[in-house]
Structure 1
């Protein structure tokens, strides 16, 4: 799938990012990455915690150096890439966070969570890092993408991934509200395990 997203820039990606984005559409590809993240939640996230758990749209806990394992799965009957994340917070049972990434066209991609809620983004390589640039939130209802004004409530997402070595990359993600600043984020390094 991601070869189509990056198109002509695919060959420019560093080796580790090619491994990380190796999932092909209509295949049984599996990529596993393990790492540690610092997870930050603001007061607004704690207020919204019941909704976040219900919709399973963010990890509603924070911590430093949290071990995380991510399995990226493709399926032979689909062009979707499934993300199965497990966060191992100290003193808590493992927190599972599932989503799936769908390419709309070109570098226009949506990451869908429970109930058809999705983060729409532009996914591109800028010559140094992969950037996931906010394009809004959507709700997939009866096959139609309905824009959601969640920017007003939680702000805009942004993510980037940058190669550190042939087998390790740095990941940064944040949600920034125009009034309250950074309300959520995580960053850390991952190693390609499989």
Structure 2
């Protein structure tokens, strides 16, 4: 099985729109992490916020999907990211280690895969995941969730939108060949902005 990259999947999904991405972003996602040779990124979160309801939801789900919904408000702390593959797997895994101020590090791992229909799916743990829509705007890469699901015995069961944390928006914006920023917001249809993360990262090449 060939070693996968996010870029291969994103090219397929975006089609001609891939060409509108900044060349630095194209190069970043074109890299293939061989098993045992992860891509490493380091940076700092400038903003980590959650609403009161978000904090409750984050605390309740922490034992199941640790770190997917961060129930804290903080700023200016380091985050390390590893992007890696596994032998005989077409999925791309992403491990994030959050080193919040005054707390023990929190590690959260998700993985991205292509569905049989060519959809981009991200799994966050316990069979829970979301379908992602991709778009290119002003040369930057945008992701938007298009429904959450619970996968059980290979079957995806859609979850009602009101019973989820809300719609997820992520922007990967280029700053230079070796630096980018990411902003994530989760908005609930009834309760508004629930979670926010924003940070600046660079690839670790040594």
Q: Is the TM-score greater than 0.5? A: yes
Answering whether residue 109 of structure 2 is matched by residue 104 of structure 1, we say no
1:43-84 deviation line (CA, Å, top 9, x unaligned): 012222332212223222221112111100012311101111
Residue by residue, what CA displacement relative to the aligned partner does 1:131-166 show, whole Å, maximum 9, x if unpaired?
111211011110011111144442211111011111
Q: Name segments (4+ residues, structure 1) moved above 6 Å.
A: none
- CA distance in 2 between counterparts of 1:17 and 1:128 reads 9
After superposition, residues 115-126 of structure 1 pair within 5 angstroms as: 115-126=126-137
CA distance in 1, matches of 2:23, 2:99: 28
132-141 or 49-58: bigger deviation: 49-58
Deviation per CA, 1:74-104, whole angstroms, max 9, x where unpaired? 1231110111100000111111111111122
Aligned length in residues: 193
Alignment of 1:10-29 (within 5 A): 10-24=18-32, 27-28=34-35
Structure 2 CA distance, aligned partners of 1:45 and 1:4? 31
Q: Is 1:36 the counterpart of 2:44 in the alignment? A: yes
Aligned 8 A contact 2:150 2:159 in 1: yes
The answer to whether 1:133 aligns with 2:144 is: yes
Q: What aligned pairs does 1:17-96 form with structure 2 within 5 A after superposition?
A: 17-24=25-32, 27-28=34-35, 30-37=38-45, 38-56=47-65, 57-96=68-107
CA distance in 1, matches of 2:81, 2:28: 11
Gaps of 5+ in 1: none
Instruction: Tell me whether 125-134 or 154-163 shows the greater mean CA deviation.
Output: 125-134
Within the alignment, does 1:5 sit opposite 2:10 as a pair?
Answer: yes
Q: Secondary structure at the residue paired with 2:55?
A: helix
**Alpha-carbon distance change, 170 to 188 in structure 1, aligned in 2, over 3 angstroms:** same
Q: Is the 8 A contact 1:154 1:177 kept in 2?
A: yes
Tell me, in whole angstroms, the C-alpha distance in 1 between the residues paired with 2:195 and 2:108: 15
Structure 1 contact 3–10 (Cα < 8 Å) conserved: no
- Per the alignment, residue 159 of structure 2 pairs with 148
Q: Which runs of 5+ in 2 are unaligned?
A: none
CA RMSD of aligned residues (A): 2.2
Moved more, 43-52 or 174-183: 43-52
Q: Normalized against structure 1, the TM-score is what?
A: 0.88
Q: What is the TM-score of this pair, normalised by structure 2?
A: 0.84
Q: Which moved more, 1:78-87 or 1:123-132?
A: 123-132
